[in-house]
Amino acid sequence: MRIRLDPWPVDIEGGQLTLKDFNGEIQDVETPRWAAIPARPIPERLRQVFVVDGKRRMESRLFIEDDHGQSGLGGFGAYVVGAVELCPHGTRQAELRAVKAARILAHAPDLRIDPMTLSPRHPHTGQLEYTPVPMTGTDALAALNVLQQHMLAAEQNLSHDLASRVPADDQDDREWLSALTVQDGTLRGRNLNGAVVGCVKTMETMYLPADRASLLSELKPGERTPVMRMTYSNGQFTRLIWYVRLCEAAFYQHPMAGVMRLEMFAPDDPSFLPPIVRQVANLSGTLLRRLGSHAHKDPRAPQNLIPTAALEQAMGRSMGSADLVTRRIRAHIAGLQGVA
Amino acid sequence: MVLGTQDVTPVSFWFAVLPGASVQLDDLVAVQTRKPDGSFVNFYGIVDHVRTRHEGVTFDSDVQDVAAGLLPASVSYAARVLVTRVNPENFIPPQPGDGVRHARGDDLRMALSADKMGEKAFPGGLLADGQVLPVNYRFVNGENGGHINISGISGVATKTSYALFLLHSIFRSGVMGTGASAGRALIFNVKGEDLLFLDKRNREVESREAQAQAQKGLPDHRYALMGLPVEAFRDVQFLAPPRPGSAGAAIVPHVEQRGEGVTPFLYSLREFCARRMLPYVFVDRDASVNLGFVIGSIEERLYRMAQPSAGGTADTPYLTVEDWQPDTEQVLDEDVRFDEMGSVRISTFAQLVAYLEYKLLDANDGEGDRKWVGKQSPATLQAFIRRLRGVQKHLTPLVRGDVSADQAARFRPDPLKPGVQTTVVDIHTLSATAQMFIVGVLLRDLFEHKERVGRQDTVFVVLDELNKYAPRDGDSPIKDVLLDIAERGRSLGIILIGAQQTASEVERRIVSNAAIRVVGRLDLAEAERPEYRFLPQSFRARAGILQPGTMLVSQPDVPNPVLVNYPFPAWATRLDEVDDLQGKKVEEVGEDWLY
C-alpha cells in the first residue's frame, strides 16, 4: 500500500488530490518535443516585477427602504487590490503599491441611494465612505457578486497597467520585457495585452492528456514544461499555459506538490508565440523559486509567494478591522434612527 | 506623530518618527493636543528610548527577504517620551496622531522650565542638540534648595571637572547678580596636583573646543554658546601643607609642580587646643564609647589650658605647662625646652602627646592625674594615647608651636580672606587621617563663621570622595560637620558640591539633601541602587556608557534628568597644560619682555 499526503492544509477545500479532466483543446505552440526545459536566469532588462492580488469582504447585508417608498436588498462591502513592486535582481526594497480599500454599498437596481459617509465618534480615526452600486440580480448573493466583480476588474486593471505590453503578432516588436506582473490566481476575461502571468496555486483540472501528465512528477525544481496553447471547450478563452516546479515534493507528499500552472493571455494568431511569453516562461522557474515561501511561514508554501503573503496582510489591514466597521455601521444606523 | 498602538499617558508616550526625520535619545520634544472644548494643552518631554523595527513582518528571518527585496516591509522608527512638563496643568493624555516637534526656542525654555527660573538660570552644559541647559540658581544657593551631588566612576566620570565647570558658570555667568564677587569657593584637592593650576589658562582649550565644535556641528564654540568667558579662575589662593621637616626648619609648601603662588598652612598648637580640634584627630570615634568620653574631657582640659588667663601664660603659638617633668631621654629626643620659670614649653605635637601621656598614665606613679583621668579605665586611656601616637607623625607638620606668633597668623588657613574668591586646599600629600583633620577643621570653622555672619557671601565647598568623609555607616566628627552643612548649610550660605564614586556608600542624608544631582559614568550594579532612583530606568542603563565630558543632570524644576556635555576646562588641570603665553600671541609676550 502507498499513501501520500495532500500538500495543502486540510481546511483548504478540495485540496490537490482530485483533478478533473479537461475537455477543451491543447496544442503545442513552443515545441512538439515534450520534455522538461531548464530555468534560465532573469534577464537584466527586466527591472520591475509586480505581484498583484485582491481581497474582498462583505461587511453587512442590508434591507434598504429608500426615501421614495422602494425597498430591496443590499450590502456594505469593501474590496482592496494592491501590488508589491520588487526588483527581481534584489537591488531595491520591495514596496507596497496602491494598496487602498474601496467601499461600496451594493443595492437593488431600482432603489435611489446617496453615497454614505460613516463618521466616527472620535475625530482621530477617519471616515468610511460607501459608493452606491446597483446589483445585477436580486438573490442573496448578488451583493457579494457585485463586490467580486469590482474587485476582479480592479485587479485586472492594476495588473495590466503596471506590466510591459505584449506584442500581438510577428510584426509587433516594439517593446521589451521590462516590467512583469505576477497575478495571483487564474487570468480572467478577455485578452489584455500586458505581460501578466497568472499563477494557479491549486490545480483542479488536469489539462494534459494522460501520456504527458507523468512529466509533471519528473520535473526538477525550476524546470518547466513547454508552453502550450489551451482553448476552453466553449471556444471562448484561449491561454498560453505551462507548468513549473518550485520545489521537490517531500517523500510523504503527492508527487505533484510544488508544481504550479502558469498562464498568460494568448494572441489571436494561434501559431504565434510572443517572444515575451517565452521569456517569461524561461525565467518563471528562477523567479518563482526566489519568491516562493517556506513551509514554516506559510501553510501553502512554496506556491503562496512571499510578496503575496505580505500583500494579503496589508490588504486585510487596509480594509480595517471587521468588528470595528460593523460596530461603526450599527452606530451609524442608530444615529440615523435617533437612538443614539 | 503620537502612536496609537501604545498607551498614551500624560507622563509618557511613544511617537512615530516620519521618514526623513531623525530623533536621538535626550532630544527634547513638544506636543500640542486639543481638548474637546477647543483649548490646547502643551506637553514637553525628553526622549528616553528610540527604536526601529520592521513593521508588517511576522518572523525574525523575514529580515532576509526584506533585505533581498522580496518582502515589502516598512521600517517603524519610534521614540518614547518622558513628559517633563504639562502646560497648562491638565493631565489629559495627548491623542494618537498629534504632531510631535523638536523643542527649540520657547518650547525648549518651557520644556526645561527655564521660564520659571527667569534670570536665576545659569548654564549647566549643552544638550545633545547643542542647546543650553539652564540650571536654576535658586536651587543652588539655598533659596529654594541647595547643594550639588555628583556621582560617577573615577577618571571616566570626571566629577571634579564638572564641579569646577559649574563653579565657573556660577561665578562668570552673572547669575549671582551684583554680588558676584561675594561668592566664594573652597575646593579640596584630593588627587595629584590637578587643581593647583586653576588660575592658569589651558593651552589646549582652543583646539579642543574647535574640535568639539566641528564634531558636533555647533554654530560656535561651547563657551560662547553658553555665554561664558574662556578664562581661568580669578582671585585664587592655593594652600598646601608645609613640607615635613625638623622643628624650626623653613616653612615651605609641600608641592612638587607649582613653584610659586602656593601658601603653606598650619595651625598653632595653641589654636589646636583653644579651638577644640582634638576630636577631628579621631576619625573612628565610635570604635569605643568610652573613648568618646575621654576625647571630650581631654578636649575640655586642653581648651582650658590654652586660655591665656589660665596659668597666666602669654598668647603664644606654643603652650607652657608647669606640672611636667619630662624624662631626661625625652628631653634629649624631643628637644623639650624649659624656660626661666621652670615651666616646660610644649612646642610640637609630639610633645603634646608626651604631655598627655604623662598626665593620663605616668603621673602619680602610674595612676595619672586624677583630674585628667576621671573615672576612665587605664585600658581606655592607653587606647587614647595609642591612637594619638599613631597620628602624631601625620599631624606634626600641621600643628606646631615652633613658629612665631606672626608666622602662625600668616599661615593660618583662611578661605574667607579678602580679595580671594577661590581657595584651593591641597591635601593630596597628606595621610588619610591628616586629610580628615584638615577637612573637618576647615569646614567646622567655616560653618561656625557662617553661623555668626549669616547667609550673605555664599561659599561653595567642593569636596571629592564624600564616601571617605561621610560614610554611610559609622560616626565621626567630620561626618557631623558635613551633615550640619548638608542639613543647615544652605540657610547659612554654605553650599556643598560633593562628589563620590558611589552614592550608595555616602550618608544618605547628605545625598538626599542635594537639590541638584549629577551622574556621570556609573558601574551598572551601582546604578541599580536606590540612591539612583531619581533616574528613570532607561537612564540608569545608560549611565553605564556615558563618555567623559557627559553628565546626567537632575534638578527639581525638571522632573527627568537631562544629558549634557560640558566644555573642556579653560583652566589648566596639569602643569603641561599651562598656557605660558596667557592666551596672548608669542609676539605680544615678546614685546612685554623687551620693553
Task: Compute the distance between CA of residue B226 and CA of residue B260 in angstroms, rounded to an integer.
Answer: 33
Query: pLDDT tens digit string along B523-561?
Result: 888 888 888 888 888 888 888 888 888 888 988 888 788
Q: Is B309 in CB contact (< 8 Å) with chain A?
A: no
Eight-class DSSP state of A305: B
Residue type, B201: R
Q: Is B179 in CB contact (< 8 Å) with chain A?
A: no
Quote the minimal CA–CA distance from A98 to chain B in Å: 13
Q: Which residue of A has its CA nearest to B63?
A: A93
What does pLDDT average to over chain B?
82
Task: Name the one residue in this structure whose C-alpha cell is 518535443.
Answer: A33
Mutate to test the interface with B, among A50, A93, A289 (most CBs of B within 10 A): A93
Eight-class DSSP state of B487: I
Residue A180 pLDDT level (bands cut at 50, 70, 90): very high
Question: Which residues, other chains included, contact B549 with Cβ-Cβ below 8 Å and sequence gap of 6+?
Answer: B158, B161, B565, B566, B568
Give yes or no for residue A10 having a pLDDT over 90.
no
Mutate to test the interface with A, among B5, B33, B35, B71 (most CBs of A within 10 A): B71
C-beta atoms of B69 and A96 within 8 A: no
Query: pLDDT tens digit string along A298-318?
Result: 877 788 899 998 899 899 999
* CA-based R_g, chain A, Å: 23
Q: What's the predicted TM-score (pTM) here?
A: 0.74
**Phi-psi label, residue A40: left if phi above 0, alpha if psi -120 to 50, beta otherwise:** beta
Name the percent of chain A in helix, strand, coil, to the closest 5: 25, 30, 45
CB pairs under 8 A between A and B: 47
C-beta atoms of A90 and B73 within 8 A: no
Grid cell, residue B134, equals: 539652564
Which residue did the predictor score with more confidence, B587 or A159? A159
- Burial class for B226, CB neighbours closer than 10 Å (0-12, 13-18, 19+): buried
C-beta atoms of A306 and B73 within 8 A: no
| Cβ neighbour number for residue B187 with a 10 Å cutoff | 26
Give yes or no for residue B348 having a pLDDT over 70.
yes
Determine the pLDDT at residue B556: 87
Task: Compute the distance between CA of residue A7 and CA of residue A26 in angstroms, rounded to an integer.
Answer: 27
Q: B80 with B26: CB under 8 angstroms?
A: no
Query: pLDDT tens digit string along A84-117?
Result: 999 999 888 899 988 889 999 999 888 888 888 8
Grid cell, residue B173, equals: 555667568
Query: pLDDT tens digit string along B445-454?
Result: 888 888 887 7
C-beta atoms of A94 and B71 within 8 A: yes
Of the ranges A73-82, B403-412, B510-519, the best mean pLDDT one: A73-82
C-beta atoms of B69 and A92 within 8 A: yes
What is the interface pTM, i.e. ipTM, of the complex? 0.79
Label residues B487-507 b or e (16+ Cβ within 10 Å = b).
eebbebbbbbbbbbbbbbbbb
Quote the minimal CA–CA distance from A307 to chain B in Å: 5
- How big is chain A, counted in residues? 340
C-beta atoms of A94 and B73 within 8 A: yes
The values of phi and psi at residue B499, to 5°, are -140, 150
The alpha-helical segments, DSSP class H, found in B200-288 are 205-216, 222-226, 269-274
Determine the pLDDT at residue B106: 85
Q: Are strands A48-65 and A71-86 parallel, antiparallel or unpaired?
A: antiparallel
**In chain B, what is the greatest distance between 2 CA atoms, to the nearest angstrom?**
108
Q: Which residues on A lie below 8 Å from B66 (Cβ)?
A: 93-94
Task: Compute the distance between CA of residue B41 and CA of residue B86 in angstroms, rounded to an integer.
Answer: 7
Eight-class DSSP state of A225: P
Q: B502 with B523: CB under 8 angstroms?
A: yes
Query: pLDDT tens digit string along A137-156?
Result: 778 788 999 999 999 999 99
Q: Which of A287-301, B105-119, B318-332, B339-353 has the lowest mean pLDDT?
A: B318-332
Instruction: Give just the sign of the alpha carbon dihedral B251, B254, B259, B261.
Output: negative
Q: B510 with B129: CB under 8 angstroms?
A: no
Give yes or no for residue B341 having a pLDDT over 60.
no
Task: Name the one residue in this structure whose C-alpha cell is 593650576.
Answer: B197
C-beta atoms of A124 and B96 within 8 A: yes
Quote the minimal CA–CA distance from B19 to chain A in Å: 14
Q: Is B76 in CB contact (< 8 Å) with chain A?
A: no
Eight-class DSSP state of B91: -
Cα–Cα distances (Å) from B65 to A247, B2, B19, in that order, read 18, 29, 21
Q: Which residues on A lie below 8 Å from B59 (Cβ)?
A: 296-297
C-beta atoms of B58 and A87 within 8 A: no
C-beta atoms of B70 and A306 within 8 A: yes
Which residue, among A285, A279, A278, A284, has the nearest Cα to A222 in the 3D structure? A285
Mutate to test the interface with A, among B70, B75, B98 (most CBs of A within 10 A): B70
Q: Is B1 in CB contact (< 8 Å) with chain A?
A: no
- Cis upstream peptide for B10 (omega within 30°): no
Q: Which of A7-16, B159-168, B257-266, B331-340 has the lowest mean pLDDT?
A: B331-340
Query: pLDDT tens digit string along B94-142?
Result: 999 899 999 888 888 888 888 888 778 888 888 887 888 888 888 888 7
* Cβ contacts of B533-537, under 8 Å, gap ≥ 24: B534/B561, B535/B561, B536/B48, B536/B82, B536/B560, B536/B561
Grid cell, residue B475, equals: 560616626
Quote the minimal CA–CA distance from A90 to chain B in Å: 5
Query: pLDDT tens digit string along B251-306?
Result: 778 877 777 788 888 888 888 888 888 888 877 655 556 777 778 888 888 888 77
What does pLDDT average to over chain A?
87
Quote the minimal CA–CA distance from B29 to chain A in Å: 21
Which residue, among B446, B495, B484, has the nearest Cα to B146 in the 3D structure? B495
Q: Which residues on A lie below 8 Å from B96 (Cβ)?
A: 124
C-beta atoms of B70 and A124 within 8 A: no
Q: What is the DSSP string of A49-107?
A: EEEEEEEEEEEEEEEEE-TTS-EEEEEEEEEEEEEEEE-TTS-S--EEEEEEEEEEEEE
Q: Is B95 in CB contact (< 8 Å) with chain A?
A: yes
| Cβ neighbour number for residue B580 with a 10 Å cutoff | 10
Q: Give the E-state strand segments of A235-336 in sequence order.
A: 238-245, 259-265
Which residues are B54's β-sheet partners?
B75
Grid cell, residue B310, equals: 589660665
Task: Compute the distance between CA of residue A99 and CA of residue A81 in angstroms, rounded to an integer.
Answer: 6
Of B57, B72, B95, the CB nearest to A84: B72
| Alpha carbon A27 to chain centroid, angstroms | 25
C-beta atoms of A90 and B72 within 8 A: no
Mutate to test the interface with B, among A85, A97, A121, A306 (most CBs of B within 10 A): A306
Q: Which residues on A lie below 8 Å from B97 (Cβ)?
A: 124
Q: Which residues on A lie below 8 Å from B71 (Cβ)?
A: 94, 306-307, 310
Query: pLDDT tens digit string along A20-32?
Result: 888 888 889 989 8
C-beta atoms of B72 and A86 within 8 A: yes
C-beta atoms of A90 and B57 within 8 A: no
Task: Compute the distance between CA of residue B61 and CA of residue B39 in angstroms, rounded to an integer.
Answer: 47
Of B58, B69, B97, the CB nearest to A94: B69
Task: Compute the distance between CA of residue B131 and CA of residue B29 in angstroms, rounded to an integer.
Answer: 13
Of A93, A290, A297, the CB nearest to B59: A297
C-beta atoms of A313 and B56 within 8 A: yes
Q: Which residue of B has its CA nearest to A93?
A: B69
Determine the pLDDT at residue B80: 94
Of B70, B95, B97, the CB nearest to A307: B70
Of B56, B71, B95, the CB nearest to A306: B71
Grid cell, residue B257, equals: 609642580
Which residues are B338's β-sheet partners?
B344
Of B57, B71, B97, the CB nearest to A124: B97
Q: Which residues on B lie below 8 Å from A87 (Cβ)?
A: 69
Determine the pLDDT at residue A340: 62
Task: Name the one residue in this structure whose C-alpha cell is 512638563.
Answer: B85
- Burial class for B419, CB neighbours closer than 10 Å (0-12, 13-18, 19+): exposed
Eight-class DSSP state of B301: H
Of the ranges A282-286, B104-108, B335-339, B354-358, the best mean pLDDT one: A282-286
**DSSP three-state, residue B117:** helix
Grid cell, residue B428, equals: 593630596
Termini Cα distance of chain B: 68
Q: What angle do CA A192, A197, A203 make, to 5 degrees?
A: 120
Q: A266 with A239: CB under 8 angstroms?
A: yes
Q: Which of A73-77, B153-157, B414-418 has the lowest mean pLDDT?
A: B153-157
Determine the pLDDT at residue B309: 57
Residue type, B266: L
Grid cell, residue B358, equals: 604623662
Q: Is B70 in CB contact (< 8 Å) with chain A?
A: yes
Cα–Cα distances (Å) from A4 to A7, A206, A244, A251, in that order, read 9, 19, 21, 8
Give yes or no for residue B482 having a pLDDT over 60.
yes
Quote the minimal CA–CA distance from A160 to chain B in Å: 21
Task: Compute the distance between CA of residue B137 and CA of residue B143 in angstroms, rounded to an integer.
Answer: 8
Residue ranges of chain A whose CB lies within 8 Å of a chain B CB: 84, 86-87, 90-96, 124, 290-291, 296-297, 306-307, 310-311, 313-314, 317
Task: Compute the distance between CA of residue A122 and CA of residue A201 in angstroms, rounded to an integer.
Answer: 42
* CA-based R_g, chain B, Å: 30
Q: Are strands A196-200 and A179-184 parallel, antiparallel or unpaired?
A: parallel
Determine the pLDDT at residue B342: 59
